[in-house]
Amino acid sequence: MSQTSPDNLWFRRYRPARNATARLVCLPHAGGSATFFVPVSAALSPGADVVAIQYPGRQDRRAERPIDDIAVLADLIHALIRREPEMPMILFGHSMGAVIGFEVTRRLEAEEHGPLRLIVSGRRAPATYRNETVHLRDDAGIIAEVREMAGTASSVLGDDELMRAALPALRADYRAAETYTCPPDVTVNCPVTALTGDHDPKTTLDEAKAWASQTTGPFDLHVFAGGHFFLTDHADEIIKLISQHLHAVPARTAV
């Protein structure tokens, strides 16, 4: 796959989907990369155009400076999405990716090109507040947090050299996620589906339910057994849920 254009730096399509009827845009968690969504692409392509976002500062973009501001990330991703051919679209974001998805949705809706659904996973609602300061810790403190959350591939977690190489992106991601704020009256219009783990230290059940107040559209909540990365243990069930929403797209948009 060519990586010469800005679009290809950010957008990763792991399976061809030339005749897709809907697009799924996947937004990774803090410290995460586009490859996290390879199983989603494998399961849903070619019926859906599965696009996984690759943020700067990791993997083959490691030489680039990571971005530590949710608004800047949302602006860039929004601009790139608008360059894509029009297609019914769903956004899916986990943890930090959930609030990026919320902000991208706001920007798309302001231009009347909003997604048909926003699926948010492992993240408290945008207007809820926690005093989180992981990004201010020393290197050892950030690495300890990532290992506690188990948010990186096990082979990386056990390799101190790889973990330290990932630190600039990790620190920037945590700074972006932890300094993000949103007024309670800011909403999106599309349906929102929230996914949460019943033992997620980053999101209480009430914080997940609070997503309902930040959409004027329908809201539904799905609770899974597990911690912050419950979705890795329930991948088949979550992919099935996403697939159901994607398959509903043509019926909902038919005229």
Active site residues per annotation: 95
Residues in the chain: 255
User: Can you name the residues that pair with 121 across neighbouring β-strands?
Assistant: 94, 195
CA angle, residues 99, 115, 85, in degrees to nearest 5: 115
Nearest to 144 by CA among 127, 164, 128: 164
CA distance 203 to 143: 20
Angle, in degrees to the nearest 10, between helices 139-149 and 167-179: 80
Task: Report whether 96 contacts 29 (CB < 8 A).
Answer: yes
Q: Cis before residue 46, ω within 30 degrees of 0?
A: yes
Strands 48-53 and 11-12: antiparallel
